Amino acid sequence: MLALAQSKGSVSQESFVMNILLNIGLATLAVSVAACGTAETSKENAVATAPIESVGQTHSGTGTVESVSGQQVTISHGPIQSLEWPAMTMPFTAKDAAAVQGIKAGDRVAFTLTKSGNESVLTSITKQ
């Protein structure tokens, strides 16, 4: 009896720990997804020597266009190391209509962007 009780107790403790780990994992995922739009908030846990994101600096990336609506382009992009961004799908605003001319959903693209506040502005986008 005693052994059974101990065994049950140990199982429930184990699943309790697993739930905590799962929750930590989900919270971490939520933070990294949020990090792309508001990169500054993701720096809380970063080391002090992390590069400071300067306005006007140009970053480059590659990805697949998910949709184009006016000057808004949603791109499933790969990691962008200069911004410490993970791969993700997010909207970008093109600097002008000409920059997205001929770009359509499904295109594999290379692009450059600058950060303007919380907005990511595409300065160029070209089909690969």
Q: Which stretch binds Cu ion (CB under 5 A): 19-27, 39-47, 85-93, 98-106?
A: 85-93
Q: Check binding of 39 to Cu ion (CB under 5 A).
A: no
Please, which residue, 59 or 95, has the CB nearer to Cu ion? 59
Looking up tokens 């605003």 gives: 93
SS3 108: strand
Q: Check binding of 36 to Cu ion (CB under 5 A).
A: yes
What residues numbered 89-118 form the site for Cu ion, per CB under 5 A?
90
Report the 3 state secondary structure along 29-79. HHHHHHHHHCHHHHHHHCCCCCCCCCCCCEEEEEEEEEEEECCEEEEEECC
Residue 39 CA to residue 88 CA, distance in Å, equals: 13
Please, which residue, 21 or 30, has the CB nearer to Cu ion? 30
Please, which residue, 39 or 71, has the CB nearer to Cu ion? 39
Which stretches of the chain bind Cu ion, using CB under 5 A? Answer: 36, 85, 88, 90
